[in-house]
């Protein structure tokens, strides 16, 4: 609640806090529930229907059950040209989770996504929005196993890139310590990032 109030305080108008608060609600509950949307509505003086209108517009708010690891495989043009669809198929096969679904154990969700800005490192994959570039189908499988067997608490792009990545869009520079602990982008001010 304190975090919510501090987020609201960042903006000249309360309503602007809707999107960050939706992330916060999703982070708290693992997905965006009706109760979560209702709470955001209360905090921003909107109706729940108005909050729902916003939440459902953006693809990163997940209203259905979503796994601890959300694996997003890019299939937009550059990744598609370099085999993104094969990477997706490999990940679906290895995880046993079809595109758009979540495994029974609640560990992994798999989705294909539109461009995630990693075209120079195609094909690209994100796990909880942490990026790994230059992924081959084979490395996609290894990434799945790493998630399913190793169950890392915090996921960072740098670690995955080291383990499963290839061609990068550009030199990333030094590694980041902050990472994601669930299917919400890891960002300090929203309270969604944790150190490895």
Partner 1 sequence: MKILTERMEAHRTDSHTLARYRDTGGYESLRKALFEMTPEAVHEEVKASNIRGRGGAGFPTGVKWGFLGKAEPRYLVVNADESEPGTFKDRQLLERDPHQLLEGMIISAYALGVDLAFVYIRGEYPRPARRVQRAVDEAYEAGLLGPDVMGSGFGLDVVVHLGAGAYICGEETALLNSLEGKRGEPRIKPPFPAVEGLYAKPTIVNNVETLSNVPWMIRHGGAAYDAIGPEGSKGTRLFSLSGHVERPGNYEIEMGLTWREFIYDIGGGIPGGREIKTWIPGGASAPWLLPEHLDEPVTIDDAGRLDTMLGSGAVVVMDETTNVVHAALSIVRFFSHESCGQCTPCREGTTWMQRILERILAGEGRQMDLDLLLDISDNISPGLRWPPAMTTICPLGPSAVSPITSIMRHFRDEVEAMIPGVAAGV
Partner 2 sequence: MSERVTITVDGEEREVPAGELLIKAAQDTGTYIPRFCWHPRMKPVGMCRMCLVEVEGPRGRQLTTSCTMPVSDGMVVHTESDVVTKAQEGVLEFLLINHPLDCPVCDRGGECPLQDQTMSYGPGESRFVEEKRHFEKPIPISDLVMLDRERCILCARCTRFSEEISGDPLIEFKERGNGTQVLTFPGEPFASYFSGNTVQICPVGALTATPYRFRARPWDLEAVESTCPHCSVGCRISVQASQNQVLRFLGVDNGPTNQSWLCDKGRFGFEYLNSDERLGTPLVRGDDGELHEASWGEALDAAAAALSAVVDAHGADAVAGIGGARSTNEEAYLFGKLLRSRIGTPHLDAQLDDGLDPRFLAGVEPRATIDDLERAAAVLVWAPDLKEELPVLYLRVRRAAQELGAKLVVVHPRATGLDDVAGHVVRYRAGHGADVLRRLAAGEGDLADARAALGEGPVVAIVGRTGLTEDPALAEAVAAFARDLPDAALMPATRRSNVYGALDMGLSPALLPGRASAYDDGARAALAEHWGELPGGAGRDTAGIVDGLRQGVLKAVVLLGADPARDVPDGSGGAALEAAETVVAIDLFRTASVEQADVVLPALGFSEVEGTVTNLEGRVQKVNRLLPGTGQSRAAWEILEDLARRLGGSLGATSAEAIAKEIEAVAPAYGGISWDRLDWGDGREGVVAPAGEGSQPLGFVPVAGDLGTPPDGTTLHLARTLYDHGTVVRRGPSLAKLAPEPALFVHPDDAGPLGVEEGVTAWISGGSGRAELPVRFDRSLAPGTVYLPFNLGVTVGTDPAVTVAAAEGAA
Question: Which residue, 53 or 175, has its beta carbon nearer to partner 2?
Answer: 53
Under the binding rule (CB under 8 A), the answer on residue 127 touching partner 1 is no
Q: How far apart are CA 4 and CA 122, in angstroms?
A: 37
Structure tokens at 150: 């190793």
Scan residues 128-187 and list those touching partner 2 (CB under 8 A): none
Minimum distance, C-beta of residue 51 to partner 2, in the bound complex (Å): 8
Cβ(97)–Cβ(112) below 8 Å: no
Using DSSP, state whether 51 is helix, strand or coil.
Answer: helix
Maximum distance among all Cα pairs of the chain, rounded to whole angstroms:
49
> Dihedral (C-alpha) 37, 41, 46, 49: value to the nearest 10 degrees?
20
First-residue to last-residue Cα distance in the chain = 25
**Residue range at the interface with partner 1 (CB under 8 A); choices 94-102, 135-143, 144-152, 178-186:** 178-186
Helices assigned H by DSSP within the chain: 2-9, 18-29, 34-44, 48-55, 77-81, 84-95, 137-145, 157-164
From the list 47, 120, 138, 151, which residue makes contact with partner 1 (rule: CB under 8 A)?
Answer: 120
Cβ(26)–Cβ(33) below 8 Å: no
Question: Which residue, 2 or 13, has its beta carbon nearer to partner 1?
Answer: 13
Under the binding rule (CB under 8 A), the answer on residue 65 touching partner 2 is no
From the list 5, 11, 42, 47, which residue makes contact with partner 2 (rule: CB under 8 A)?
Answer: 47
Minimum distance, C-beta of residue 41 to partner 2, in the bound complex (Å): 8
Under the binding rule (CB under 8 A), the answer on residue 16 touching partner 1 is yes
Cβ(51)–Cβ(14) below 8 Å: no
Scan residues 74-103 and list those touching partner 1 (CB under 8 A): 75-78, 80-82
From the list 97, 122, 132, 154, which residue makes contact with partner 1 (rule: CB under 8 A)?
Answer: 122
Under the binding rule (CB under 8 A), the answer on residue 41 touching partner 1 is no
Q: Is the peptide bond before 189 cis (omega within 30 degrees of 0)?
A: no
Under the binding rule (CB under 8 A), the answer on residue 50 touching partner 2 is yes
Under the binding rule (CB under 8 A), the answer on residue 185 touching partner 1 is yes
Name the residues that contact partner 1, by CB under 8 A: 10-20, 22-23, 44, 46, 53-54, 57-61, 75-78, 80-82, 113-122, 126, 129-131, 157, 167, 169-174, 176, 178, 180, 185-190, 193
């Amino acid at each position: 609640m304190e975090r919510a109030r501090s987020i609201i305080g960042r903006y000249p108008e309360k309503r602007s806090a809707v999107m960050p608060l939706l992330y916060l609600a999703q982070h708290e509950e693992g997905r965006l529930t009706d109760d979560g949307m209702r709470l955001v509505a209360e905090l921003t003086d909107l109706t729940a229907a108005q909050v729902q209108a916003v939440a459902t517009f953006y693809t990163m708010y997940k209203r259905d059950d979503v796994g601890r690891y959300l694996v997003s495989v890019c299939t937009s043009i550059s990744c598609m040209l370099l085999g993104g669809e094969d990477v997706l198929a490999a990940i679906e096969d290895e995880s046993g989770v079809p595109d758009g679904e979540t495994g029974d154990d609640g560990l992994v969700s798999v989705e294909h996504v539109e461009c995630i800005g990693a075209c120079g490192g195609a094909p690209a994959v994100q796990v909880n929005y942490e990026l790994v570039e230059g992924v081959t189908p084979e490395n996609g499988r290894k990434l799945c196993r790493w998630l399913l067997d190793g169950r890392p608490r915090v996921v960072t792009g740098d670690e995955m890139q080291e383990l499963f990545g290839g061609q990068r869009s550009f030199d990333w520079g030094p590694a980041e310590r902050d990472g994601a602990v669930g299917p919400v982008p890891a960002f300090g001010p929203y309270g969604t990032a944790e150190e490895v």
